Amino acid sequence: MDLSIRCDRLAGPGETVIAHDARELPGGKGANQAVAAARLGARVAMVGRVGSDAFADRLLANLEAEGLDVTCVRRTGGCASGLAIVAVDRGGENAITAVPGANGRVSPADVEAAADAIREADVLLLQLEIPLETVQAATRMARDAGTLVILDPAPAPAHVPEALLEVDVICPNALEAAALLGRARVSVAEAMDVARTLASRGPGTVIVTLGRDGAVCCDRRGRGERVPAPTVRVVDTTAAGDAFAAALGVRLAERAPLAEAVRFACHAGAVAASRPGAQPAMPTREDIDGLAGC
């Protein structure tokens, strides 16, 4: 559950700022991406956990209302559901503090319980708000079954096991790409070189998202392409990356060429950034088709 707070600017260390309002909205990277994929026309099964608190029923009900299969979402006794405190400034930039809660209990045993769903899927879409060993277990299962694996490496871990990069597609934003390489930052001008470096470490394809500057994509042979993003009025960037990852997965499942899939994903991210909130901002196919150049 996201506790979303809107303020004029984000607080600095030791500083208190006054916010305009606060709302409780369903969130979580995996759930955001699952909802977005469903709104874009995919048949989606969610794998994860909620806690035993008051948020659990609301989170599950929301996923079911979006048409998701939640058979593999388990309730965890004696544990809170995941919570994120999301501060958004007037320019749409955000700062997020997440408490894993039940997300931290998602285990390789949960992956095994979801084996049929993973093996029968066209795409397995993964994030890093669950334990890394669980992500690696899911990756191995999908790879053995021939299921395409897309990893959104967020939040980026302090230490990156090499096995974590053995996926078909990885799509970090610029900050996450920098963290994966042990760097402080990555500029737009450096993004393609960074994508090529990451591609040399295992992924079949690397896509580095750059917000309003679009994205760069590169395969392990070093062949790269820059894809622009449409211009929109930015309201809230909280779930733009989730919309991007979901849209990318949907179009790759539909066997679209990579550049076309990335372009579609950039449009999805732009739509999400033009709206407040996380899951409420996830676009439909019609929303994306409404942007010129898609």
- The predicted pLDDT at position 292 comes to 58
How is residue 151 written in tokens? 């990893």
CB-CB neighbours of 85 under 10 Å: 14
Which residues, 6+ apart, have CB-to-CB distance to 103 below 8 Å? 28, 48, 49, 82, 129, 130
- The predicted pLDDT at position 154 comes to 93
- What domains lie within the chain, and their CATH numbers? 2-289 (3.40.1190.20)
The string over 134-154, giving b where at least 16 C-beta atoms fall within 10 Å of a residue's C-beta and e elsewhere, is bbbbbbebbeeeebbbbbbbb
- The predicted pLDDT at position 269 comes to 96
The separation between CA 48 and the C-alpha centre of its own chain, rounded to angstroms, equals: 14
- The predicted pLDDT at position 198 comes to 93
- The predicted pLDDT at position 50 comes to 98
Extended beta strands in the chain, E state:
2-7, 19-25, 45-50, 69-75, 83-88, 94-99, 123-126, 148-151, 169-170, 205-209, 215-219, 224-227
- The predicted pLDDT at position 167 comes to 97
Q: Please say if 242 is a catalytic residue.
A: yes
The separation between CA 1 and the C-alpha centre of its own chain, rounded to angstroms, equals: 15
What's phi and psi for 67, nearest 5 deg?
A: 90, 15
DSSP states of 128-188: SSS-HHHHHHHHHHHHHHT-EEEE---SPPSS--GGGG-SSEE--BHHHHHHHTT-S---T
Q: Which of 152, 168, 236, 242 is catalytic?
A: 242
Binning the chain into helix, strand and coil, the percentages to the nearest 5 are 40, 20, 40
Block residue for tokens 């690696």? 136
Distance CA 33, CA 47 (A): 12
Is the entire prediction scored with pTM above 0.85?
A: yes
Distance CA 34, CA 43 (A): 9
Query: For residue 6, what are the β-bridge partners?
Result: 21, 88
| Per-10-residue mean pLDDT, the chain, length 294 | 93 93 93 98 98 96 97 97 93 90 98 98 97 97 98 90 93 94 89 93 96 93 91 90 98 96 96 91 92 59
